[in-house]
Copies of this chain bind each other. A is one copy, B any other.
């Protein structure tokens, strides 16, 4: 593995990567590594008032703001939100993209999740995984030399089996950066998600007031609905990893997929260095 490591996070919609891995991304950037976020869809369905066209454009700009805030690359595929399918064409597009990034670690959702785009994003990732090293698949893009480790981000679904983390990561000291990233997704953080949580009236006006609300009640709602912060849920795992686990107030968790490279001790140390 090269000195500089490369992290790729694949989310079904433009805000998913920030919610589930914003802290891990910030830690990677802080350590001088490279981070790429990819949204498989254009996010054009996540609003109660805006049409698809205006929304997709706005969310693209939000990802550009995240990229600048976190110091990462952010790509958005032009697949319509709510219309992701596990087709060969989408699989091949993803294979070509991942090969271009050549990551050491790829993170994304599990196959069990409430939104079809989430599930098919997971399916595309697992369908792409082994193919990354096979030269005759997508021969116009050279294969990676080393299969990356694939991991799942946290969710709260129970069937057929619950999320079971292999690594729980303390991101407390980069929580502000993560919140800054989330703050960029204003169409989601202050409009659509509060609407779906029936909390729209609680969202204040004004940029500063919103940012403050996000760090308080906003974070609570997000954590309740999206597992964005699993510090309390996996306190036991934190204790096993960190000396002062009780001081961890924000954590992100990763379960390793069986379909990527195995997480050897050496890789574990390199990829999860914090």
Which residues in A have some Cβ–Cβ distance to B below 8 Å? 42, 44-48, 51-61, 76, 78, 80-83, 85, 87-89, 91-92, 96-97, 112, 114-116, 119, 126-127, 129-131, 133-137, 139-140, 157-161, 196, 258-259
Contact = CB atoms under 8 A, between A and B. Distances in A.
Nearest to A44: B136
A137 B56 CA distance: 14
A54 to B, nearest CB: 5
Complex copy number for this chain: 6
A126 B137 contact: no
Given A116-B126, A119-B127, 16 more contacts: A42-B52, A45-B134, A48-B135, A51-B136, A52-B136, A52-B139, A53-B57, A54-B60, A56-B56, A57-B58, A82-B137, A114-B130, A116-B127, A116-B131, A159-B161, A160-B160
B82 A53 contact: no
Nearest to A79: B80
Query: Which residue, of A76, A196, A259, has the highest number of chain B Cβ atoms within 10 A?
Result: A259
A78 B112 CA distance: 28
B82 A136 contact: yes
B78 A80 contact: yes
Nearest to A129: B114
12 contacts: A42-B52, A44-B78, A51-B139, A54-B57, A54-B61, A56-B57, A82-B131, A85-B87, A89-B89, A91-B116, A159-B161, A159-B258
A87 B89 CA distance: 10
B136 A45 contact: yes
Contacts of A133: 196
A221 B236 CA distance: 37
A76 B48 contact: no
A159 B81 CA distance: 28
Contacts of A91: 116
Nearest to A118: B130
A83 B90 CA distance: 12
Q: Which 8 pairs of residues, A with B, have the shortest CB-CB distance?
A: A57-B57, A53-B60, A116-B127, A160-B160, A45-B136, A89-B89, A82-B137, A53-B57
A189 B45 CA distance: 29
B134 A82 contact: yes
A85 B82 contact: no
A113 to B, nearest CB: 8
Contacts of A130: 114-116
Given A48-B135, A76-B53, A259 B85 contact: no
